[in-house]
Amino acid sequence: MAHLHGDDYYLGPTSVEMAANALTESKKRWAFGRTLSDIDGKLIPHRWQVALRSREQLLWTNFIPHAATFYRRDFFLELGGFDTSLKYAMDYDMWLKMVSVEIPAYVDAEIAAFRRHAGSVSNAQYQKAFQEDHEVRRRYIGRNPLVRMPYEAAHLWRALRLRRNF
């Protein structure tokens, strides 16, 4: 399974095949590859282009691109599917559920494009999406204040930078 938003698209006829091969060869239940941003028809690589090595790595920032993520249906259903109470971070919540069970296979190739424009939900509602990502992150960090402190500090730093840019 995969989910592709209305503005996103696969980069070629072998995109899905590459992901399926990664799932089969790795015997993993989920995999992700890289994406490009499509800004006015120009394709630009994303900053995060790395394999996921730990749950903690994903807790720091949501860098798994939904458009290039594939998973087995039974795994998705076993974990309860998407939390539909979330509007912006349902994919991040799902990746955190999945990585709590297993590290995904990584497809070291561009699979999809994420179209960015002023009207897209990600851009138009960036502040709300940023906050919801953090709320989801808090679900998985736990309650220990010493563990939470670095994540909260990083969130405050990112929030300050965001305010300066908007």
> Is the pLDDT assigned to residue 124 strictly greater than 70?
no
Do the Cβ atoms of 96 and 136 come closer than 8 Å? Answer: yes
Specify which residues 39 forms β-bridges with. Answer: 42
Q: Which residues contact 100 (CB under 8 A, 6 or more apart)?
A: 55, 140
Model confidence at 127, in pLDDT bands (50, 70, 90)? confident
- Tens of pLDDT, residue by residue over 6-40, are 889 999 999 999 999 999 999 999 999 999 999 99
> Is the pLDDT assigned to residue 122 strictly greater than 60?
no
- Res 118: pLDDT: 67
- Res 121: pLDDT: 57
Q: What is the mean pLDDT of residues 46-52?
A: 77
- Per domain, the residue ranges of the chain are 9-117
Q: What is the mean pLDDT of residues 82-99?
A: 96
> Is the pLDDT assigned to residue 149 strictly greater than 60?
yes
Cα 163 from Cα 75, distance rounded (Å): 38
Q: Which residues contact 30 (CB under 8 A, 6 or more apart)?
A: 23, 69, 70, 71, 72, 75, 98, 102, 104, 105
Q: What is the mean pLDDT of residues 103-120?
A: 87
Q: What is the mean pLDDT of residues 44-50?
A: 79
Do the Cβ atoms of 6 and 12 come closer than 8 Å? Answer: no
pTM of the model: 0.87
Q: What is the mean pLDDT of residues 104-114?
A: 94
> Is the pLDDT assigned to residue 99 strictly greater than 90?
yes
- Tens of pLDDT, residue by residue over 51-79, are 888 899 999 888 899 999 999 999 999 99
- Res 51: pLDDT: 81
